């Protein structure tokens, strides 16, 4: 199975964007990652067994590319979320605060929390996408949730 580029973009661009944004927090870099991800899809000849296989592959490429950008010495800029044009409004103040708390987590916790709660990936799939043991993913989810609880408790009056 190999959907057209247009079909792949229509079905998965929001997920790829969100996963990259959770790591990079910078619209320009995220747009580069999204473009690179779909360029790799377009130029590659890889066949996929299902839509979920394609989605997992695209997310894995996006996460790896975002990590490469994070390591880059030239990447030292970021824009606060409030100034980002095109970021959808949050349905409530609580969801906005939760998102901010998630984006403030260390990278290792932030990406597993994002994939699990925002992209609805089970632990098994997160482990496959990030090439980690399932036990590591479970530990990072646990520790990330603990950090979120602490951060949200500190923010509330």
CATH number of the domain to which 98 belongs: 1.10.10.10
Specify whether 1 is located in the same domain as 30.
yes
Specify whether 15 is located in the same domain as 69.
yes
Cα separation, 17 vs 131, whole angstroms: 20
Q: Are 69 and 25 in contact (CB under 8 A)?
A: no
Angle value at C-alpha 59, between 70 and 44, nearest 5 degrees: 100
Last residue of a domain, one of 16, 51, 77: 77
Give residue-wise pLDDT tens across range 11-67. Answer: 999 999 999 998 888 889 999 999 999 999 999 989 999 999 999 999 999 999 998
Whether residue 73 lies inside any domain: the answer is yes
CA torsion 65-51-18-8 (nearest 10°) is 80
Residue partners of 36: CB distance under 8 A and separation at least 6:
61, 65
Specify whether 36 is located in the same domain as 68.
yes
Specify whether 44 is located in the same domain as 96.
no
Last residue of a domain, one of 77, 99, 131: 77
The CATH number linked to 60 is: 1.10.1740
Question: In which domain, by residue range, is 116 found?
Answer: 90-157
Whether residue 82 lies inside any domain: the answer is no
- What pLDDT is recorded for position 5? 94
- What pLDDT is recorded for position 88? 54
CB atoms within 10 A of CB 32: 16
Cα separation, 77 vs 94, whole angstroms: 27
- What pLDDT is recorded for position 83? 44
Q: Are 15 and 56 in contact (CB under 8 A)?
A: no
Specify whether 119 is located in the same domain as 49.
no
Whether residue 43 lies inside any domain: the answer is yes
Cα separation, 36 vs 42, whole angstroms: 10
Cα separation, 98 vs 102, whole angstroms: 6
């Amino acid at each position: 199975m190999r959907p057209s580029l247009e079909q792949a973009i229509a079905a998965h661009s929001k997920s790829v964007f969100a996963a990259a944004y959770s790591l990079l927090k910078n619209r320009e870099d995220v747009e580069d990652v999204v473009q690179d991800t779909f360029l790799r899809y377009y130029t590659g000849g890889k066949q996929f067994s299902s839509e979920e296989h394609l989605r997992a592959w695209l997310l894995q490429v996006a996460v790896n590319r975002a990590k490469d950008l994070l390591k880059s010495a030239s990447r030292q800029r970021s824009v606060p979320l409030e100034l980002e044009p095109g970021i959808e409004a949050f349905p409530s103040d609580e969801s906005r605060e939760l998102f901010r708390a998630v984006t403030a987590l260390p990278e290792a916790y932030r990406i597993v929390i994002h994939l699990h709660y925002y992209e609805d990936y089970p632990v098994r799939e997160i482990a496959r996408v990030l090439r980690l043991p399932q036990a590591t993913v479970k530990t990072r989810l646990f520790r990330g949730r603990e950090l979120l609880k602490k951060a949200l408790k500190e923010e509330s009056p």
